[in-house]
Every structure is written in structure tokens, then in C-alpha cells.
Amino acid sequence: MDRRMLLRLTAIGSASAVLSATGCSEENRPVSTPEPTGGVTRTVHPYGEDPSQYGALYLPSAEPRGLVVVIHGGFWRPEYSAEALGAPLAAALAGQGWAAWNLEYRRVGDRSGGGGGAPATFDDVAAGIDLLAELDVDTTTVVTLGHSAGGHLAAWAAARGRHGWSERVPVTHVISQAGVLDLRAADAAGLGNGAVRAFLGHPPTTADARFDPAQQLPLDVPIWCVHGEADANVPLSQSTDYVERARAAGATAELVEMSGDHFVVIDPASDAWARQLEILDTIA
């Protein structure tokens, strides 16, 4: 069994219950879900009417050190979900004393979990982060942590206020996990078998700057780009080139190159994950 399947199976038992709860809620009220282990609690909060418009808030037993917004990847496609890919990280973060907001969003296509693309997916991520202003959680420190396509959205979210989206809850730090940070380069390389074109609805150009982190430099907050050197899904150059250009533009950006593949950065048992916890230790 490969790592992708293992991570998807970790939370598959709870996915149906959570999606059902969010789909049935009509009053934007939290829906209680089974309590995770180790004193961590979880509640689900819809930010829209679509079943994919929700976030799951994981809280540690003590006062949180800060808040991490977990944004899952999967080339923006509906077969990849927050419960399958983000929940293990959110639980691990809460176990380390962080509040974690495992954010779901509409992905590309007409299947269950779809309805997204540009700009709908961006609208969802902005609304999902802003909902935190209405919850009982401190938003002084807000770190977006995103993998692959989620890394793209994590970096984008930190600049969203400059490009026409609401920013009630500003992002203060970004950790990109093998992020798709340059949409034009990703499309030219054919990543995800045309995933960028499917997401935008056309080949990316300079007219898509409001969607593309590589065209939004310099970012106003620090960003760490954590990437496996043997990544065959999103090449390391997506992070190395972004960091080089970010620094040249005057931004605070750091490349964190790790041994391993595309999924090592979201494996809570890996050295790459331990390194990310160390980065969070420098924040709060």
C-alpha cells in the first residue's frame, strides 16, 4: 500500500459522518463529531450551503499556541478531501498544542465534492478562513499549511486581500508543502495531466496574476517551502524557483529541502513533518 492510500484510509471511517453533518446543517452552527484522542476536541463549522463548504476545528486541551489552517491537496480534484488528507495533520497539530482548522473547499468538476475551480475555490478558501473570526479561537497567529495544490492555496490566501477577496482574518505565516506555486510553470510541465488548465478553465497567463502566487510577489508574510527532493508529482523547482524569486523581490522565504517523495511532507511520522513542527516552534 502506498503512502497516498494509507493517508486516505486514516480518516475514511469518519469522512461520511462529517460530510453528512455539514450537509444537513442549515444554520451555520457547529456540529459535534466524535472526539479525537488525547484530549483533542473537534467541531465542524459550515461556511456555506454546499457540503464541501466547511472547516473542522481541532482544539488542544490547553490554550492553543496559535492557529494553523490545513489546506489539503490533490490537484484541486474532488477525489481528494480534507478528511482523507488533512485530518491526520490537524489531529497531529492539535496534539502539539495548536488549534487546527482543517478546511474543505469545492474542487473542480461536477462530481461530489466538485463545483469549484476559479474563482469558486478561491472564494471558498477566503470565506473559510474568514469564518474563524466568528469562532471562539484566537486569530492573532494564523499559519496556512498547504500540501501540493493546497500549498498553492495557502500562499494565495496570504495575499488574497490585495486581489479583491475579503481578509477579515489575515494570514501571518505560510508553510507550503510541495506547493504548486507557479501556475504557468506547472502548466508548461503538464503537472497533474492538465490540472492547472482544468482548474482555471484555460491555460494560465499574466492575466491570471490574482490566482497565481508566483505572480503575487513579494508576499508580505514569511513563507517556508518544504519539499521532498525526490518529488515526482510536483518538482522541487516549484519551490526553489519561487524562493529565489521571492527573496529577490524582498520577501522572507526559506527553502526546506527534505529527503523523500511528494507525500513525505504530510506523513506525521516523517522527519519532514518533525521539521515543520520545528518551524512552528519558531512562530509560537
DSSP-assigned states of every residue in 190-203: TTTTTHHHHHHSS-
The Cβ-side half-sphere exposure at 54, using a 13 Å CA radius, reads: 31
Please give the C-alpha separations between residue 258 and each of 77, 220, 270, in angstroms, as whole numbers: 26, 25, 10
pLDDT score at 38: 76
Say which CATH topology domain 3-283 has. Answer: Rossmann fold (3.40.50)
Is residue 184 very low, low, confident or very high in pLDDT (cuts 50, 70, 90)? very high
Residue 86 carries which DSSP code?
I
Q: What is the pTM of this model?
A: 0.88
CB 85 within 8 A of CB 119: no
Residue 84 carries which DSSP code?
I
For the stretch 230-252, pLDDT in tens is 999 999 999 999 999 999 999 99
CA neighbor of 91 nearest in space, from 18, 1, 160, 188: 18
For the stretch 261-280, pLDDT in tens is 999 999 999 999 999 999 99
CA neighbor of 256 nearest in space, from 222, 211, 217: 222
Q: Which residues contact 119 (CB under 8 A, 6 or more apart)?
A: 211
Q: Whats the size of the chain, residue-wise?
A: 284
* Cα gap 228→169, rounded to integer Å: 30
Helices (H) and strands (E) counted in the chain, each on its own, are 9, 9
